[in-house]
Amino acid sequence: MSLQVYEYGQEFPLESGKKLPSLQIAYHSYGRLNEDKSNVIWVCHALTANSDVFDWWPGLFGEEEFFNDKDYFIVCANVLGSHYGTTNPLTTNPETGEPYYLDFPQVTIRDMVQAHQILANHLGIQEINTLIGGSLGGQQVLEWAASKLIKINNLIAIGTNAFFSPWGIAFNESQRLALTADPTFYERKLDAGQNGLKAARSMALLSYRTYNAYGVTQVESDHDKTDSYKASSYQAYQGDKLVKRFNALSYYYLTKAMDSHHLGRNRGAVEEVLHSIEGINTLVVGIPSDVLFPPQEQEFIAKNIPNAEYYELHSFFGHDGFLIETKTLTQVISNFLEKNNSKADQLNLIQENE
């Protein structure tokens, strides 16, 4: 399925009180809605991913995978502020006829969810069978569930948290310091801040992986060298990869949005907000080697959402494990959904016989 774009013909109010004069939402959809519209799988993507979930989450999503386009209607929308088609800093501001650049207003996870809801309404979706996301995507699924904007039957939150930690904010701020240290970052041009983006991505990668992973994949065979190390070239390579496909301004705004994540903002205690997510079958997945979203954050979520299940996904790769350990993750998710579908069938049978 190719990229689709929905043009929302109204102002879009942001949590900050500011408004976008117009909004476009880029998304991919796969498969078709069944007759009773009960087969929707909605995926919320992570920081620099896009809406083509069949491309970036193979092994779990695909034509021959567990989540496929024959059994399900799968939707993944590009987040507000991102580089891949949804309104972002490089989008033309209709009020000026030029890209927003740094005039783009700050957005939050809640703003992203509000945009998702607008798209869901446009697509005629009134019920999500399974809402799934990892990392920043997991922040979105929790916020959507807490907002109670739409009926959700199954919720799967992976490697995420109920509010972003000081540790995570510090990682993001360090990356933004790298972005803004590039003097071109402030120039009103499409390729602004590329050297800063390269450095920021190098920093971020350290939070996505682990000491042990580098100790194996980047180990040197030549013990006599004093420069040009594998680990050095790997960091530069990963930075260059992102520069070729993303932009510094979107990266800046998305890290700010991640920092903003807090389910308790203007709602009350986080525990109470999580406890209000009841009546939804919930699976929370943590990764013990994850240094960015350590497993105690997922344990906290599972402890406070009524009847939530917690699973630890062991991975050599740290935070990125949820994108790599798809064989194990598929089995865990399939067991979770099969069990809860069986419970639902039994409940329906009881109700029919009453």
Residues annotated catalytic, as ranges: 135, 290, 319
Asked whether the beta carbons of 322 and 49 are under 8 A apart, the reply is no
Strand partners, 328: none
Asked whether the beta carbons of 198 and 239 are under 8 A apart, the reply is yes
The DSSP annotation for 164-188 comes to --HHHHHHHHHHHHHHHHSGGGGSS
Strand partners, 61: 67
CA distances from 124 to 40, 128, 148, 310 (A): 11, 11, 17, 32
Asked whether the beta carbons of 117 and 13 are under 8 A apart, the reply is no
Tokens encoding 17: 């009180």
Q: Quickly tell me which residue has 């697509």 as its tokens.
A: 123
**In 3D, which of 292, 339, 342, 295 has the Cα closest to residue 157?**
295
Distance CA 89, CA 185 (A): 12
CA distances from 48 to 44, 45, 228, 234, 254 (A): 12, 8, 28, 19, 9
The CB density around residue 64, as the number of other CB atoms within 10 Å, is: 7
Q: Any residues with CB less than 8 A from the CB of 239 and at least 6 apart, and which?
A: 197, 198, 199, 200, 201, 202
Tokens encoding 168: 């995570």
Residue 216 CA, distance from chain mean position: 28
Nearest 5°: phi and psi at 246?
Answer: -140, 180
CA distances from 8 to 4, 15, 116, 144, 294 (A): 13, 18, 12, 20, 38
